[in-house]
Amino acid sequence: MNVHYRPALSTAPATGGGSMSPWLLVGSEPTELERLALALARFGIDAQPHFDGPALVRYRPVLCDARCRAVVQSWLDDIPQRSAPLLFVGAGTSGTRARLIEAGADDAISARVGPDELAARMKAAARLNAALQGHIRLANFTFDTGLRQVRWQGETLSLMPREYDLLLALVRHVGEIVSRDDLLHAIWQTPFDPGTNSVEVHICKLRRRLAGMADRVWIETVRHRGYRLVLAAASGG
């Protein structure tokens, strides 16, 4: 697969969709697929070559070489039964990319793409797929918006509804200051400060819920400005 490999800019672990099953790489020679898997691994994508058809792996995300026409058609035909992302790389013209997307592919990408951008597109497709199924994956947290449950690196956290909403609001802006007024507006849906200490009380409760992981993730109070969720460097994000 003639992806243009560029020097790695990052060796960060998987974050934007790392909870999904490993990606399957389809359509090229084994050595090319292995090279691509190694290149993607440098940008947090767990991938492995796949040489069989689509029928038994409909739940697995797939990256297919768009130049292998016979293989391409079999995967396009299987789209109605798929529940995981299907991307194509190596689509040489805008017309080809448009046709693949119109046929149901989640994305179609030129061969002239670096592994950093390709990995980012794969993560974005995984995030969108998870969101459509009611899951939001951010900063090593997984939020189930249907059940209103949250997991941290696979461990389920027991949160009350306000605590869940607070954590989601802070995680969406991890590393950034979120003002008290913004939290009131987003979670309590009030356009003004009612003069209560509801935010402070629920932040305190949320901190207690996160106490077991205090060396990895915590909430800072930034005086007169708001709150900030912080991840330890080793926790990724």
In terms of domains, do 142 and 217 share one?
A: yes
Asked whether the beta carbons of 141 and 150 are under 8 A apart, the reply is yes
- Say yes or no: 106 and 89 in one domain: yes
Instruction: Report pLDDT for 145.
Output: 83
Q: What is the model's pLDDT at position 90?
A: 95
Residues 128 and 37 in one domain: yes
What's the confidence (pLDDT) of residue 153?
83
Give the pLDDT of residue 20: 58
In the beta sheet, which residues pair with residue 137?
Answer: 142
Residue 5 lies in a domain: no
Residue 143 sits at φ, ψ, to 5 deg, of -105, 125
47 inside domain? yes
**pLDDT, position 5:** 34
Q: Domain check: are 175 and 118 in the same one?
A: no
Q: Which of 133, 152, 187 represents a domain boundary (last residue)?
A: 133
What range does the domain containing 46 cover? Answer: 23-133
- Whether 167 and 128 share a structural domain: no
Helices (H), 173-235: 180-183, 198-209
**Single residue among 118, 133, 148 that ends a domain in this structure:** 133
Residues 33 and 114 both lie in one domain? yes
**Strand residues in 23-111 grouped as ranges (E):** 23-26, 47-49, 62-65, 86-89, 107-109
What does the pLDDT read at residue 66?
95
The answer on 99 and 192 residing in a single domain is no
3 belongs to a structural domain: no
What pLDDT, on the 0 to 100 scale, is given for residue 235?
53
On the CB side of 219, CA atoms within 13 Å amount to 26
Distance CA 231, CA 50 (A): 35
Q: Write the single-letter amino acid at 80.
A: P
| Residues 77 and 142 both lie in one domain | no
Same-domain check for residues 196 and 115 = no
| Domain closes at, from 74, 104, 133 | 133
Query: Does residue 87 sit in the same domain as residue 100?
Result: yes
- The confidence score (pLDDT) of residue 220 equals 95
Q: Please indicate, yes or no, whether residues 74 and 53 belong to a single structural domain of this protein.
A: yes
Q: Are residues 120 and 178 in the same domain?
A: no
Name 87's bridge partners.
63, 107
- Give residue 39's pLDDT: 96
* pLDDT of res. 17: 41
pLDDT at position 214, please?
A: 75
This prediction's pTM: 0.58
Q: Establish if 112 belongs to a structural domain.
A: yes
Domain count, the chain: 2
pLDDT at 154: 81
Check if the beta carbon of residue 122 is closer than 8 Å to that of residue 40: yes
Predicted pLDDT of residue 191: 72
Ranges of residues in the chain whose predicted pLDDT is under 70: 1-20, 234-237
Does a structural domain hold residue 15? Answer: no
Q: For CA atoms 10, 11, 17, 23, give the dihedral sign.
A: positive
Q: Please tell me the predicted confidence (pLDDT) of residue 185.
A: 86
CB atoms within 10 A of CB 221: 13
> Residue 147 sits in a domain of what CATH number?
1.10.10.10
Three-state DSSP at 175 gives: coil
Residue 65 lies in a domain: yes
User: What is the per-residue pLDDT for 134?
Assistant: 83
Does the residue 146 lie in any domain?
A: yes
Q: What is the CATH number of the domain that holds 92?
A: 3.40.50.2300
